[in-house]
A and B are shown apart, each in its own frame.
Chain A
Amino acid sequence: MKHTALALSLSLLALGAASAQKVSLTYLHGFTGPDRPVMEGLVKKFNETHPNIEVRAQAQPWGTTWQQLPSLVASGRAPDVVVINEDQITGFIARGAVSPLAPAEMKAAGIDQTRFFGPLFKTADYRGQSYGLPVSSVAYAMFYNKDLMKKVGLDPNKPPRTRAEFLAAAQKCTVDKSGKNATQAGFDPKNLDTWGVSLYNNWVGSRAAYAAILQNGGELTDKNGNAAFNSPQAVSAVQFLVDLVQKQKVARPNSTEEAELAAFSQGKVCMFPSGQWYLDRFEQQKMNFGVTFMPRVGGSVRDAAWGGSSHLTLPRQKPGYDAAKRKAALEFMAWMTQPEQNLAWTATGSLPSQAAVAKNAQFEKAPINGIFDRLDSVYATSGVPWMGQVLGPFDAAWEAAYSGKKTVAKALGDGVTESNKQIEQARKNFQ
């Protein structure tokens, strides 16, 4: 009797101690729509396997989070973990909304940054410190129509990789209504039946120019954070793309994203560089297509494509914030970015964030596998707090160059001038 009572009281005591240690975390993310159940499933699994931590996830549209986060942090009511996207993250870091992840902290939580694709992990770096772990990523890829390539005499299993191969393929694919291709005499570019590559003038279209500039060794900004997309490398890279329209006549002038998407779906265009998020759509249409990494059209310095990403971050908290909470939050972040969880997350259409996941057998036969050999060359637009002031003028410059309203050098030069004027003003916010 006595023993049972003692055991009971002891176990009650232990239970009390355990529940006292239980840490409750709030987790704010923008994965709404079809992504939401997958994220909620992962959080549920975490809670089940971690009896000491309870994560309460809340999904809300990204834009709402960007508007609320500053006041939440300022008033000391920030959630314990927040997901921030690549185009916003540097701005929030520079404004002090996010706290840095110390190397020792990451090590203690079992986070090994070398596991991730390098540029993807560095997206959340600022001034030599890390601020977030990539939980989701998307990228620009080049879709190509295998049937059409075969028809014009190209090997559908060997998509172009270099500038020369790319141009040759585009020329062969560009056939007018009388059956002449872009290299033949009497070719009529005004009456195209099929054409080589899709280019267009919105922000999605301008990401092809971004990739080309990186491929040629250029950058959007210099090391001081000023706009620098009019460097000789950038001008030469963008010139090649514009020439595809104006000189080579292998891309349609005055096109729109909708028109190029429809044309690719109808088998009218060989190569369609765009976001990997269109994969689903082409798969459902039962098209015979392939996916490859963006060829080196800009130059041969390096492989590059644009990518977007979402990062798990720890917002700045008020003084006296519970250290156990921060530790638990790091444990949650570490778990969420483990290969197993990342693999589950790719069901949403996101790309693997690390090589180990990309090697998984489930991707072997998937078309998207075509870009997996170069996922470590996917670059997000981040790194300066005033990304909006850089990308707005950059997109406008691409539009002016693509449509032939300005020469490439003038378009990019004007864009840099406008961007730097705005950066000069924005800097005052960060002093």
Chain B
Amino acid sequence: MTATPVSTPQETVRRGSGPRPRRRVSLEPYLYLLPHAALFFVFTVYPIGYGLYIAMHRWDLLSGRQPFVGLEFFRNLFIAGTPQADFFWRTLWNTTFFTLISVPLLVAAALGLALLLHRPIFGRAFFRAVFFMPGILTVSVMGILWRWMFDNQIGLVNAARELTGAPPIPWLSTEGLAWIPIIVGTIWWTLGFNMTLYLAALGNISQSFYEAAELDGATAGQQFRFITWPLLTPITLFVVITTALASFQLFGQSLVITNGGPNRSTQSVIQYITEEGFSNSQISSAAAMGFVFGLLMLVLTAAQFRLMARDVQSSGEEK
């Protein structure tokens, strides 16, 4: 009990009058951190605080007063019948639906392509480039392209259907079907990035594992199941989380391809927040939605990490 390391007055005095260099040493790490810390405070902490201020006031720069409204704009999201509650949750579900469909496709297809293009096939570099290339397009170019592909009347997809005698399908104006151009377009657009990550990971797996497996008579399927897949788990965790977060940030694709229609069925939650903020000039309400959405993303990512980090650890032990 007496040995509790509490600084005595004497100690403090000694520290104060102690040799100066010691003090400078203890300051040094903070000086190194300062540039980043400054940027972090200016561009992350301050905006978050300011955003909270906006969300809790009826905020308009022009009006002299910015009355405090507390959680009114947050509460709006949970009171049935307000436009915010209706559209926020509807568009959040739209975005979730998009994520649930697109993430498995984007991960599986990227892995499949990487496995194919990892092997020394003819024209490998060409195909890698072909699949990677769409990713360099901006979302507006990609969006207009797929909008035209799936246009109800002049689209290439319907033109192809007409050749076979099938009637054209109104992709862009049918609820449900309108997701197809968005999802197909997104996969085409972003697949190459995930594929490249998998290719890099595949290149890091030592050939000796496969040689040993072959000596033991393992089939290609068994090799994939017991060697490739477990060793790819860390990169899969990374790909799934980044792809899921990117999918939840759906904005440009549905904005350009369907403009959220028909009947808001493909409107993403970010598009709705933008609409509330800039087209309805309800900045505070939009800020509140931004916080709720951000919080949901945080919880989701944490949950994903927990679930999958266990896999990574156990696969590490198997090694």
Contact = CB atoms under 8 A, between A and B. Distances in A.
Contact of A70 (B61, B83, B153, B264): B61
Nearest to A67: B278
8 contacts: A258-B148, A259-B153, A259-B154, A388-B275, A399-B261, A399-B262, A425-B282, A429-B281
Given A66-B278, A396-B263, A429-B58, 19 more contacts: A67-B278, A74-B62, A96-B62, A201-B262, A254-B153, A254-B173, A255-B152, A256-B152, A258-B154, A386-B280, A386-B281, A388-B280, A403-B173, A405-B263, A421-B82, A425-B282, A425-B285, A429-B60, A429-B282
Which 7 pairs of residues, A with B, have the shortest CB-CB distance?
A: A259-B153, A254-B170, A70-B61, A388-B279, A95-B62, A74-B61, A254-B173
B99 to A, nearest CB: 24
B63 A96 contact: yes
A426 B284 CA distance: 11
A355 interface: no
A389 B280 contact: yes
A95 B60 contact: yes
Contacts of B153: 252, 254-256, 259, 262-263
Most chain A CB neighbours (cut-off 10 Å) among B154, B259, B279: B154
Contacts of A254: 152-153, 170, 173-174
Contacts of B81: 421
A214 interface: no
A392 interface: yes
A19 interface: no
Interface of B: 58, 60-63, 81-83, 147-148, 151-154, 170, 172-174, 259, 261-264, 275, 278-282, 285
Contacts of B174: 254
A392 B262 contact: no
Contacts of A262: 153-154
A392 B82 contact: no
B63 A95 contact: yes
Nearest to B174: A254
A258 B280 contact: no
A188 to B, nearest CB: 13
A396 B87 CA distance: 13
B281 A422 contact: no
Given A392-B275, A421-B82, A71 B61 contact: yes
Contacts of B147: 258
Interface in A163-205: 201-202
Interface residues of A, number: 37
A400 interface: yes
For the residues of A in contact with B, the DSSP-based class is helix
Nearest to B147: A258
Interface of A: 66-67, 70-71, 73-74, 91, 95-97, 201-202, 252-256, 258-259, 262-263, 386, 388-389, 392, 396, 399-400, 403, 405, 418, 421-422, 425-426, 428-429
B58 A428 contact: yes
A405 B279 CA distance: 25
Contacts, number: 87
For the residues of B in contact with A, the DSSP-based class is loop
Contacts of B280: 386, 388-389, 392, 422, 426
A255 B60 CA distance: 40
Contacts of B275: 388, 392
Contacts of B83: 418, 421-422, 425
Nearest to B152: A254
A145 B121 CA distance: 56
A389 B61 CA distance: 20
Nearest to A95: B62
Given A258-B147, A258-B151, A426 B262 contact: no
Contact of B262 (A70, A263, A405, A418): A405
B282 A392 contact: no
Contacts of B63: 95-96, 429
Contacts of A426: 280-282
Given A91-B281, A426-B280, A396 B264 contact: yes
Contacts of A253: 170
Contacts of A400: 263
Contacts of A255: 152-153
A106 B14 CA distance: 78
A418 B264 CA distance: 13
A115 B189 CA distance: 54
Nearest to A429: B60
Contact of A97 (B62, B151, B154): B62
A240 to B, nearest CB: 21
Given A256-B172, A259-B151, A70 B62 contact: yes
Most chain A CB neighbours (cut-off 10 Å) among B61, B259, B263: B61
B58 A73 contact: no
B282 to A, nearest CB: 7
A73 B64 CA distance: 11
A233 B303 CA distance: 55
A259 B259 CA distance: 16
Contacts of B278: 66-67
Contacts of A67: 278
Given A91-B281, A405-B262, A422-B280, A73 B152 contact: no
A221 to B, nearest CB: 15
A405 B154 CA distance: 23
A116 B9 CA distance: 84
Contacts of A392: 275, 279-280
Nearest to B87: A418
A310 B60 CA distance: 24
Contacts of A389: 280
Contacts of B60: 70, 95, 429
